[in-house]
Amino acid sequence: MGFRVDPTRDPLEGAVRAAARQVDAAARTLRAALRAADVAGSAAAVHEARKALRRARSLVELLRPWWGREDAGDLTALLRDARRRLAGARDAT
């Protein structure tokens, strides 16, 4: 999945929106898999959620010069920790 910059909007705002969509997609995917109670579907959902979190983290890293080292570092740490917490579910399947 690629990201495009809309020249009519603030690029920082667009990147923040894209990162938020990635995190939202990860949460929706996991919720759907939990409701389905499907082991194979859950493994795929965990994989997709981890990919979405990785994309969001990459966007935050790209924004680091505009956000500031400390704020961007805090957010990347949160996203990294969220991915790590899903590693156990990934390994269990």
* CA dist 87 → 4, 7, 16, 31, 69 (Å): 30, 37, 25, 16, 27
Cβ neighbour number for residue 11 with a 10 Å cutoff: 13
Q: Per-residue pLDDT averaged across 76-87, rounded?
A: 88
At residue 78, does pLDDT exceed 60? yes
State if pTM tops 0.75. Answer: no
81 pLDDT band, cuts 50/70/90, is very high
- Residue 30 banded pLDDT, cuts 50, 70, 90: confident
Helix, strand, or coil (residue 86): helix
- Tens digits of per-residue pLDDT, 6-22? 678 777 787 778 888 88
Under the banding of pLDDT at 50, 70 and 90, the label for residue 72 is confident
Position 66 pLDDT exceeds 60: yes
Q: Is 64 exposed, middle or buried (0-12, 13-18, 19+ CB in 10 A)?
A: middle
